[in-house]
Amino acid sequence: MTVKIPTTTIGATLIRSFKCSFFPSDSRTTRNSSSKRRKSFRTVRMGSFSSNLSKPESSSAESVGDTTDNTDYSSFTNAEWKKKLTKEQFYITRQKGTERAFTGEHWNTKTPGIYHCVCCDSSLFHSSTKFDSGTGWPSYYKPIDDNVRTKLDMSIIFMPRKEVVCAACDAHLGHVFDDGPQPTGKRFCINSGSLELKPHQQQQ
């Protein structure tokens, strides 16, 4: 549930700043990138956003490459995850870290395909739902099926947020906000380091 702050001049400025970042709590705090942020949403895939909405997504296309299995990822130790992941991937997905804005591999990627979890390979987001939020992180207006879930993040006491995690392995992906485009109005603000893009041609 989003906390509403009175829309005074100062309050409006603060909440805009808060909602455009992940609020990392350590020394890797996101740099001020407001000068780079654009005011309008633009789709990053072929055609306009309206053309994306005019063509319903194929459920079969979204399921391509979904390799979710019955592995019990809850039993994985940190040592096992460190062997499987890079240092950056481990920091983001297992320690709830945040990459700096405009530095991740996929923040501006336009390649058609499916974004998978780097930890368990579950399919998470289709490129057709990716849009340019101007925040410097990959942004999507909806996930694939129920392959992600959300939970309350109270790491910032005065600004409760919804953390986004992989439903299969509980990897931290990012956060979701209610300022995205239609048809969902959601902005799934995701770390590139938690994702692996598999282009369509590799899945055929």
Block residue for tokens 């909405």: 53
d(CA 32, CA 93): 23
Selected catalytic residue, list 117, 119, 169, 189 = 189
User: Is 22 within 8 Å of 30 (Cβ atoms)?
Assistant: yes
DSSP bridge partners of 163: 151, 175
Secondary structure element (H or E) that encloses residue 162, with its range = strand 161-166
* SS3 state of residue 115: strand
Count CB atoms within 10 A of the CB of residue 150.
16
User: Is 173 within 8 Å of 194 (Cβ atoms)?
Assistant: yes
Q: Is 189 a catalytic residue?
A: yes
d(CA 200, CA 185): 26
Residue positions annotated with a catalytic role = 189
